[in-house]
Structure 1
Amino acid sequence: MKINSSTTMICLLGHPIKHSFSPTIHNYLFEKYLKNSIYVCFDVKEEDLSESVLGIKALGIKGCNVTIPHKVNITKYLDSIDENTKLIGAVNTIKNEGGVLKGYNTDGRGFVKSILDKGYKIKDKKIMIIGAGGACRSIAIELASIGAESIEIRNRSLEKANEIVESIKNNFKTIVSCSRNTIEKSCLEDIDILINTTPLGMENDLCPINTEIVVNKKMLVCDIVYKPNETVFLKWAKTNNLDVVYGIDMLINQALEAFYIWTGVNTCSDDFKHIKKLYKEIN
């Protein structure tokens, strides 16, 4: 990649961001599709978010990704938001269109594609989601739109979880509920898909579930954390002989969708395979 006076920038806003694989993904895509752009990361604390958004406009940054913990709060600083994203209430992708910042969310679509690629169905399935942040919002809305039978959200704060519950109740037929995040074996008896949307397990040994729980049924377990590739949560699932979806799959799929928003370029299945290979080589 050659950088010159015409090179444009796409960035990531988040805290922390040192674990991010996004620069590898997008810089590979920029080079492959001959786009004179570069992708970089900015570690932005919550109190600096509004000034960072102003910086995007001032510096002419062409777009950005948004990650934990800014996906919800970033919405109030944008000029417009995609209609589907308004329903989600969280943004993970921004496009700068001549100084007008428009927000999108590709998390849910990327996550769903990862499940479908694994050979599982979502329609009429019973799903439990751990966490109630921006990622949960986008995933839950997407799952409901596809026809999940029920979605139960487990989170420490019922206030945040209830906001997502009400959004789904008002727009979809999916049965939805929430409760605090203590999960017992009995809670999982009717669950088809279990999803962790919290950062627990990111570069530590924490787990959003009691690893002593033994599950004697078929259930798909998904984690949106992708570093480490095999979190304690996914190790617990494998110990119980459960099938898993890795966080890296969602990350790649949502990134390919964001790349399309910025460039108008449709990527191919070989891009997914190559990017996943790069991830395995690095990690």
Structure 2
Amino acid sequence: MMAQIDGHTILIGLMATPIRHSMSPTMHNNAFAKLGLNYAYLAFEVGNDRLEKAIEAIRILDMRGSNISMPNKQKVIPYLDQLDKSAQLCDAVNTIVNDDGKLTGYTTDGIGFMKSLTDEGLDIRGKKMTLVGAGGAGTPIAIQAALDGVKEIALFNRDDSQWAQAEKNVKTINQETDCHATLHHLENQTELKEAIAASDIYVDATGCGMKPLEDVAVVNDPSWFHQDMIVFDTVYAPRETKLMRIAKQGVVKHVFNGLGMMLEQGAAAFKLWTGKDMPVAYIRQLLFNDAQA
């Protein structure tokens, strides 16, 4: 099911590189068609070198907005008119909305993470999270979880190029929210094990588990997990990662991949552009009917 394009069709973009692999155009265009909305969503191969002109094109062409992905999530900020609070705190944007030439930047990744849990009937407000990773997924997850009421976050990261971002995330959370965040070296496995044991949810926001790291997991011992906790891997291809298999060996009740997060971050952007709720169940069935595989 695809919408028919005519002289009244409103354009929405996706600007990133590489981008031809993205499932977002299929997701959004089928959602537009399902609801009878006259929008079209197209992917544009845009890197930092052409980003300024591409953003100006949103205004010139009167596009409704655009998604922004790597490597543009931070570089796009100077070209926008304003940011919502979450985007300000994350210092990153993945969604732009054009209101009569005024461009506002949002980040919906963290929203997608939190909504994917509530979709499963799970509430982590007031609870403790252990989070590994401070990159493009880990940062918005940490910030949004703190804004939404998670009580404590133990953030682990390797002492690498993302360590400075991890330090910034912890400082931002402690200054701007009621959540208490601490930063730990991922190399310290004793601290990681203790943090997981004391947590209600463990989130892996690294690239472990997807190509070419399918056989890699940060935690390899199922005894580190306890039965009543949540284990969440932001990877959704493959559907079941090594971390998920290990957690299931530990008889963890709630084990998830990043599929729900991916769908719900898209749904949040969809709502910002159209004012309508994306038919998430329909899109999940259409694109990911093997989600349990």
TM-score (ref. length: structure 1): 0.87
Q: Which runs of 5+ in 1 are unaligned?
A: none
Q: C-alpha separation between the residues in 1 aligned to 2:154 and 2:48? A: 29
Residue aligning to 1:193: 201
Q: C-alpha separation between the residues in 1 aligned to 2:197 and 2:221? A: 15
The one-letter code sitting in structure 1 at the alignment partner of 2:212 is N
State the number of aligned residues.
Answer: 280
- The runs of at least 4 consecutive aligned structure 1 residues that moved more than 4 Å come to none
Change (3 A) 1:4 1:203: farther
- The superposition leaves residues 85-125 of structure 1 with CA deviations (integer Å, 9 ceiling, x where unpaired) of 32332212111223322111222222111112223221232
The one-letter code sitting in structure 2 at the alignment partner of 1:245 is F
Q: C-alpha separation between the residues in 1 aligned to 2:40 and 2:50? A: 23
Residue aligning to 2:74: 72
CA displacement at 1:176 relative to structure 2: 0.4
Alignment partner of 1:236 is 2:241: no
Q: C-alpha separation between the residues in 2 aligned to 1:214 and 1:48? A: 49
Q: C-alpha separation between the residues in 2 aligned to 1:82 and 1:247? A: 24
Q: C-alpha separation between the residues in 1 aligned to 2:75 and 2:180? A: 27
Change (3 A) 1:217 1:281: closer
Does the 8 Å CA contact 1:183/1:209 hold for their aligned counterparts?
no
Greater shift in the superposed pair: 250-259 or 77-86: 77-86
Alignment partner of 1:275 is 2:283: yes
Residue aligning to 2:172: 167
Does the 8 Å CA contact 1:132/1:155 hold for their aligned counterparts?
yes
CA displacement at 1:227 relative to structure 2: 2.5
SS of residue paired to 2:176: coil
| 1:1-283 pair list within 5 angstroms | 1-156=3-158, 157-182=162-187, 184=189, 185-206=193-214, 207-212=216-221, 214-218=223-227, 219-242=229-252, 243-267=254-278, 271-281=279-289
SS of residue paired to 2:282: helix
SS of residue paired to 1:217: coil
Q: C-alpha separation between the residues in 1 aligned to 2:187 and 2:17? A: 26
Change (3 A) 1:171 1:44: same
CA displacement at 1:257 relative to structure 2: 1.7
CA displacement at 1:224 relative to structure 2: 2.2
SS of residue paired to 1:73: coil
CA displacement at 1:27 relative to structure 2: 0.7
CA displacement at 1:167 relative to structure 2: 0.9
SS of residue paired to 1:256: helix
Does the 8 Å CA contact 1:126/1:150 hold for their aligned counterparts?
yes
Q: C-alpha separation between the residues in 2 aligned to 1:170 and 1:215? A: 31
SS of residue paired to 1:65: strand
Change (3 A) 1:130 1:74: farther
SS of residue paired to 1:170: helix
Q: C-alpha separation between the residues in 1 aligned to 2:69 and 2:42? A: 13
Does the 8 Å CA contact 2:154/2:195 hold for their aligned counterparts?
no
- The superposition leaves residues 144-201 of structure 1 with CA deviations (integer Å, 9 ceiling, x where unpaired) of 1232221122223321101111111112222201123336334422122111223443
- The superposition leaves residues 222-257 of structure 1 with CA deviations (integer Å, 9 ceiling, x where unpaired) of 122222322333233233332212211112112222
Does the 8 Å CA contact 1:72/1:134 hold for their aligned counterparts?
no
SS of residue paired to 1:128: strand
